[in-house]
Structure 1
Amino acid sequence: MRDAGDDGRAPLALRPIHLALVAFVATLPAHAPTIGAFAEAPQFEAIADTFLFALLLAAVTSSVVVLLRGLQRPRKVFARARVTAIAAAAYLLGTMGAVGLLFAPMPLPAAAVGAGLLAGAALPLLVAEWARAVAVPIDQALVLCAFVVLTASFVGWILALLPPSALVPVFCLLLVAGVVVPPVAARMGDPALPLARPADTMRRLVSVTWLPLLGFAVYAFMTDVMAHSAFGVVQASFLGGAVAALVMFGVCFLWGRTPLLPWSYRILVPLMAAAFVVLGAFPAGTFPRDASVVALYVFYIVLALLGCAVLLAVVRNRELPANVASGFACGVAAAAALLGQILSQVLTVTDDFAPWLAVLTGAFVAVLLVFLGRTSWNELVAPHESAAAEEPALAARSGTGDAPGGGAVGAAHGEEFEGAGAPDGSEPPVRPNASGDAFELAEPSMQNTLEARCAEVAAARGLSPREAEVLVFLARGFTPAYIAKSLVLSISTVRTHVRNIYRKLGVNKREELIHLIDGE
C-alpha cells in the first residue's frame, strides 16, 4: 500500500480497540450471522422481524437528528460524552432486552417494538463515535474493514455453533465489549472545523461518497431480503464475508495500487458481479449454481467494505464534521435495510426472492457502468493538457489572500463543487509527464528522500499537516483530481490546499515548486 502521508504509508497497526470493533459488528442486530445465531430461539419467528423493523425505523430517524446536529456548531465535549454514555446504555438495554424476549415463554411483540426503538435510536450515535475512534486513511481503512469482516464472520460462525445456554452469555459479553469504546472516545474533543452552509456541506459530502454509499445501501437492502429467503444464506454469509475480506487483503497488499478506491470500482466490483452472473447461469442443483449465493454475498460485502472504508477516510480527513458523515451513512444504510425488511414481508407469500437478487445486482452494475462510461468519455475528450492549463489559474489565485487555515473555508465560500474526490471525479488522473510513473518504480530510499525533503519544506514554510500531505503528491507530479481520489477529498478542497501551498511557498507554477523541493 502506498500513500503520500506518513500515516497513509505506515501499515495498519492492530490494537485492542479494533477487537472491540469486531465485537460491535458481530453483535449488530441486523447482521446476518447474528440473525442466524438466534434462528432457533423459541420466539424468533414472532419477535425478530418486529424488533428489526422498529430498530431500523428508529435508526433512520436518529440518523437524521445526528446529521442535522452535525450541521450546527459542535456541542461541548462533556455534553457529547454524556449523550454517548446514555446511548450506549440504551443500546445495551434494547439489544439485551430483545435477546431475552427471544427466549421468553410467550411472544411479547409490544416489548419487542420498545426494545427496537431504544436500540435503533442509540445506534447512529455509537456509529459516529466508532468512526471517530478508528478513522484512518483510505488504504488502511480498507485493510481494517477487511480484518473486521473476516473476524466478525468467524465470530458469527462460532456463535451459530453454540447452544442457547452458552450463546446468550457469550453474546452479551461481546455486546458489552462493543459499546465500551464510544463513551470513552466521546471524551476526546473534535478539532474545530470552519462552519459552512449546510447545503454546501451536504454537496461536498455527496460528491465524495455517493457511489460508495450507494453500494453500501445495496448491501444493506439485499442482505436484509436474503436473510428472509429460502436460500439458507446465513451460512453462506460466513463464507462470503471471509472470501470478500481475503479479496480485499489481496487488493491492498498484493496489488497495492494508488488510488485503490477508483481501481476497486473499475475492476474489482464488476469482476465480483460477473462471477455471480456466470455461476448463477448454471443449471439448478449444480455446484456452481449453489456457489453463486456465496459469490453474491462476496459482491455485496465488497460493496459494504468500500462504503465503510470511505466513511472512515472522510472522518479522518476532517474535511466534514464526523456527525454529518456518520449520520448520513448510517441513515442511508438503515433506510435501505428498512426497505428490504418491508419487501421481504411482501414477498413472504411467494418466497420468490431470486429474481430480486439478480435484478438489483444488475441495476447497480448498470449504474456503475454508466458512471465508468461517462468518466472514460471525459478522459478521452478532455485534453491531457488540462492539468497544465489549470495550474496558472491556481497560481494566479494563490495570492488573493485565502482565509487562514485554508481548505474548508475556501471551499465553503464560493468554491465550485465538481466531481468527487473518491471515485466520481470527472478529471482524468493524468500526470503532466512520466516522472510519476518512473517514481512508482523507484527505490524506497528515493521515495523516503523526497518525502523527507517535502517535510522539511513544509515545516520551514508553515504548511498545515494536510497541506504537507498534498505537497508530497504535487512533488510526485500528480494532478488535483488524482490527489482528491487518493485522499478521499472533494476536488474543490484539494484545489484550495494547492493554492495555499503555492502562496506559502511563494511559487507560481509547478516547475518552481519542484526546484524549491530539490533545493535548487
Structure 2
Amino acid sequence: MGALNEQGASGAAQPGGLCGLRPRDGALAAFVATLFPVTPVLASFDQTAQFPVLADPFLIAALCAVLGSALALVIRSLVRGTVARPRSRATVTVAAVAYLLALLALPMLFRAPEPHRWAAMAAGIAAGAATPWLVAQWAAVAAAPMRASLARCAVVAVGASLAAWVLTLLPEGALVPAFDGLVLVGAVPLAFLSARDEGPREDAGPGTNQLGRLLSVTWLPLLGLGAYAFATNVVAHGAHTVVQTAFLGGGVAALVALGVSVRWGRAPLLPWSYRVLVPVMAALFVVLGACPAGTFPPGLSLAALYGFYLVLALIGCALFLAAVHSRELAADTVVGVPVAVAAAAALAGQLLSAVPGLDLAPWLTVLAALFVAVLLVFLGRTAWNELVTPRETAAEGEREAAAPLNGATAAPTTTSAPDSSPIAAESEAIAAEPTRRDALEARCAAVAAEAGLSPREAEVLVYLARGFTPAYIAKTLVLSISTVRTHVRNIYRKLGVGKREELIHLIDGE
C-alpha cells in the first residue's frame, strides 16, 4: 500500500524487471520518439526535397489540432465529472488509425516532386487531433506511483532520445522505413493494450473543483513542461548538428533522472526533485555559462540546457502519471491539461521561430533563468512559511481533519519534537526493520478490511499509523491537502475514533 511511493534506494524488484518495466514500454519509447510536439524528430527529414516548404505548415496545423483536441478532451471530462469510465477500444483504434495514416503519409509528402501544402496541413490536423487521445491511453496504461513513473519516464526518454538520434544519422533511403517502423510500433499496440484498474471509480466532483485541485498540485510542473515544449520547437529550427546535440543532452539528462528515481531520490520525491535536483542542474548550467568562451566544446552548453529542460519535462510527466494512478481526478483532465499546455508552448515556439530574422536561441537561457527564478521565489516563500509558522499548525490541521462528524471534541494530538521534520521522520521510518514495517502494514490492512475502508483510505491509514501529517501524505501520494483531509475524516469516522492516540491503540490491538 504505498510501498512503491517510497521505495528504498535500492529500488526493490517489481514485476516486469527494472522499475516495473515491461516490453510495452519499448513501444511507448517509439511513440515518444515520433511525438512531434515534444520531439524535434521531423528535423531528420531536413534534406528531403519538400521539407523546407511543408514542415512548418504541417507542424503548425498539427499543434493547433493538438491544442483544440486536448481542450475538447478536458471539457468533455469536466462535464462528465467522473474519474472513471474507460474510453472504448473503438475510440482508441480510430485515433490510432488517423495518427498512423497521417504520419506514414508525411515522409511521402516530403519526398514528392511537388509540394502539396493542403495535404501536409490535412495530415497535420489528423495527427494532431488524434494525439491527445493516444497520449491519454498511454497514460492510462503506464500510470504508476511517483517514483515508478519517474523511472519509467526516464527509461522511455533514454530510448526515445537514442532512437531519434539514430534517425538523424540515417541516409534518406533508410530514414523513411525507420521512421515508419517507429510510428507503427508506437501506435499499433494501443489497439490491444488495456488501461490498468479499469473498475468503477468514484465521482470526481464538479469540473471547476477538479481543475482547481489539479492546478494546486501541478502548476510548477506545468511551467516546466511548457518551457521544455517551447525549447524543443525552437531547437527544431536549428541546424542538423544542433538537433543531434540536443538528443544526446536529453539522453544524459534522462539517465540522471533514472538515477534519481532508483537510487538518489528521497521521498516525497516531487518536493525533493524541485528542492535538490533542479537547483543542482541549474547551478551546473550557470557554471558552464560563466566559463570563458572556448573552455568547453560548443555543443556542451546546448546539451546541458536541453537536458535541464528535459528533466523538468520528466518530473512533470511522472507527476501526471502518478496523478492518473491516484484516481482522485478524472484521467482525461489530468492528461488533457498538460497536453494543452505543451501544445500551446510548442505552437508559440514554432510561430516565433518562423519570424524572419528573429533568433530565439539566446532566449532559451533566459527562459531557463526565469523558471529557476520562479522556483527560487516559491522555495524561499515555502521555507519562510515553515520557519515562522508554529509547528502546531500541522497538528491543528490534523485535528480538524480527524474531528468526529458527531461534533465530539477531539483531544489534542501529539506532535514531533520542535527540531524534527517530515524528511527526518521519514529517514527514521526507512531505517526501521522491514519486518516491523510489514507487520504495521499487515495490521493496518486488517483494520481497514474490518472497517470497510476504500483502497485509498487504507493507503492513507498506513501513513497515519507511521505518524505522518496530512501535508506530508499529500506530497507523497501526489494529492491535494483537502483530498487527504477528507480521507482522514472518513477513516476516523469509519473506525469510530476521535484522535491519533485512539487510532494507534486500535491498530496495535490494545
TM-score of the superposition, structure 1-length normalised? Answer: 0.88
1:369 aligns with 2:363: no
SS at match of 1:71: helix
Unaligned 5+ runs, structure 2: 409-417
Query: What letter is aligned with 1:486?
Result: T
- In 1: Cα distance, 2:86 partner to 2:497 partner: 44
Structure 1 partner of 2:244: 235
- In 2: Cα distance, 1:355 partner to 1:396 partner: 55
Structure 2 partner of 1:63: 70
- In 1: Cα distance, 2:377 partner to 2:335 partner: 27
- In 2: Cα distance, 1:430 partner to 1:322 partner: 36
- In 1: Cα distance, 2:447 partner to 2:117 partner: 65
1:16 aligns with 2:23: yes
- Call closer, same or farther: CA 1:436–1:228 in 2, change over 3 Å: closer
- Call closer, same or farther: CA 1:337–1:272 in 2, change over 3 Å: same
Query: What letter is aligned with 1:224?
Result: N
Structure 2 partner of 1:117: 125
1:54 aligns with 2:61: yes
Structure 1 residue 515: Cα displacement:
1.9
Unaligned 5+ runs, structure 1: 402-427
Structure 1 residue 30: Cα displacement:
3.4
1:104 aligns with 2:117: no
- Matched-pair contact (CA < 8 Å) for 2:83–2:201: no
- Call closer, same or farther: CA 1:314–1:83 in 2, change over 3 Å: same
1:203 aligns with 2:212: yes
1:251 aligns with 2:293: no
Query: What letter is aligned with 1:132?
Result: A
- In 2: Cα distance, 1:79 partner to 1:25 partner: 21
1:129 aligns with 2:137: yes
- Call closer, same or farther: CA 1:436–1:14 in 2, change over 3 Å: closer
- Can you list the C-alpha shifts for 1:473-512, whole angstroms capped at 9, x where unaligned? 1111111111111010111100011111111222111122
Query: What letter is aligned with 2:119?
Result: A
- Can you list the C-alpha shifts for 1:282-310, whole angstroms capped at 9, x where unaligned? 33333165411111011000001011101
1:163 aligns with 2:171: yes
- In 2: Cα distance, 1:79 partner to 1:317 partner: 18
Query: How many residues of Structure 1 are paired with residues of Structure 2 in the alignment?
Result: 490
- In 1: Cα distance, 2:199 partner to 2:450 partner: 27
Structure 1 partner of 2:348: 339
- Call closer, same or farther: CA 1:459–1:445 in 2, change over 3 Å: same
- Matched-pair contact (CA < 8 Å) for 1:5–1:472: no
Query: What letter is aligned with 1:504?
Result: K
- Matched-pair contact (CA < 8 Å) for 2:40–2:236: no
- In 2: Cα distance, 1:150 partner to 1:432 partner: 33
Structure 2 partner of 1:491: 481
Structure 2 partner of 1:4: 2
- In 1: Cα distance, 2:199 partner to 2:373 partner: 39
Structure 1 residue 433: Cα displacement:
11
- In 1: Cα distance, 2:269 partner to 2:87 partner: 38
Query: What letter is aligned with 2:486?
Result: T
Query: What letter is aligned with 1:298?
Result: G
Structure 1 partner of 2:333: 324
- Matched-pair contact (CA < 8 Å) for 1:141–1:313: yes
- Matched-pair contact (CA < 8 Å) for 1:398–1:500: no
Quick one: which of 473, 497, 504 aligns to 1:507?
A: 497
Structure 1 residue 248: Cα displacement:
1.1
- In 1: Cα distance, 2:491 partner to 2:343 partner: 40
TM-score of the superposition, structure 2-length normalised? Answer: 0.90
- Matched-pair contact (CA < 8 Å) for 2:497–2:503: yes
- Call closer, same or farther: CA 1:83–1:363 in 2, change over 3 Å: same
- In 2: Cα distance, 1:92 partner to 1:306 partner: 28
- In 2: Cα distance, 1:502 partner to 1:206 partner: 28
Structure 1 residue 231: Cα displacement:
8.7
- Can you list the C-alpha shifts for 1:43-100, whole angstroms capped at 9, x where unaligned? 2111111111110011001111001111123699697322221111111111112121
Name whichever of 369-378 and 140-149 sits farther off.
369-378
- Matched-pair contact (CA < 8 Å) for 2:168–2:244: no
Structure 1 residue 324: Cα displacement:
0.9
- In 1: Cα distance, 2:76 partner to 2:323 partner: 18
1:218 aligns with 2:232: no
- In 1: Cα distance, 2:33 partner to 2:111 partner: 20
Runs of 4+ aligned residues of structure 1 deviating over 6 Å after TM superposition are 74-79
1:141 aligns with 2:149: yes
Quick one: which of 471, 477, 490 aligns to 2:467?
A: 477
Structure 1 partner of 2:507: 517
Structure 1 residue 5: Cα displacement:
4.0
- In 1: Cα distance, 2:133 partner to 2:2 partner: 31
Structure 1 partner of 2:414: none
- Can you list the C-alpha shifts for 1:110-168, whole angstroms capped at 9, x where unaligned? 21111101110111111111111110001100000000001111111222222222221
- Can you list the C-alpha shifts for 1:368-397, whole angstroms capped at 9, x where unaligned? 111111111110111111222233322324
- In 2: Cα distance, 1:489 partner to 1:380 partner: 24
1:325-474 alignment to 2 at 5 Å? 325-346=334-355, 348-350=356-358, 352-399=359-406, 436-474=426-464
- Matched-pair contact (CA < 8 Å) for 1:80–1:187: no
Query: What letter is aligned with 1:458?
Result: A
- Call closer, same or farther: CA 1:253–1:83 in 2, change over 3 Å: closer
1:151 aligns with 2:147: no
Query: What letter is aligned with 2:266?
Result: R
- Matched-pair contact (CA < 8 Å) for 1:429–1:478: no
Query: What letter is aligned with 1:41?
Result: T
SS at match of 2:343: helix
Quick one: which of 93, 102, 110 aligns to 1:85?
A: 93
- Matched-pair contact (CA < 8 Å) for 1:22–1:152: yes
Structure 1 residue 15: Cα displacement:
1.2
